[in-house]
Structure 1
Amino acid sequence: MVSLAEVENKIKASLPDARVKVEDLTGGGDHLQATVISQLFAGQTRVKQHQLVYKALQSSLASEAIHALALKTYTPEMWETTGQSL
């Protein structure tokens, strides 16, 4: 199991401009949801955006410290149109 802060830090290390929110979906610490907002996603398909986040968490996913990961990825412009806040 990894801490939510550790997951957030790994994503931010790989995507330095990212705003990140990580949530534990089940209370067990291994089924997570991450919302990631980064300008680096601009011009990328949703699949490519997710691959950038998966790459940041590769070791935690490979060791099954993270068993399931739901991702929501946005560019800053896309995020502004959702009307949500982190």
Structure 2
Amino acid sequence: MKKRLLVPREEIAWYPTIDEDLCNGCEACAEFCRPGVFAPGVPEPDAAVVKRPKMQVANPYNCLVLCTRCEPVCPSGAITLPDPHEFECFVEYVE
């Protein structure tokens, strides 16, 4: 079954958030997400140890409404999504 949005995508605040304290910059989310929601952030300029940049939600409105597949892909548990029940009113299921 396909989903059809009932309002313009830009009016639906469905997208992931990343906990920077948990993100290890592995880029698993960016490799997994076909719509291109995630991208590496800016590296810390004065870091004593060079680390991978934390990931960021670069294109939040590319996220497919009610998709939750990226959340379990993150090995550090840094990705969270809104409660899907609050967003079902924006989606109609069609065949």
TM-score range, shorter chain: 0.3 to 0.5
Higher strand share: 1
Q: TM-score, normalised by structure 1?
A: 0.32
Q: TM-score, normalised by structure 2?
A: 0.30
Structure number with the bigger relative contact order (C-alpha 8 A, sep ≥ 6) is 2
Give the number of the structure whose alpha-carbon radius of gyration is greater: 2
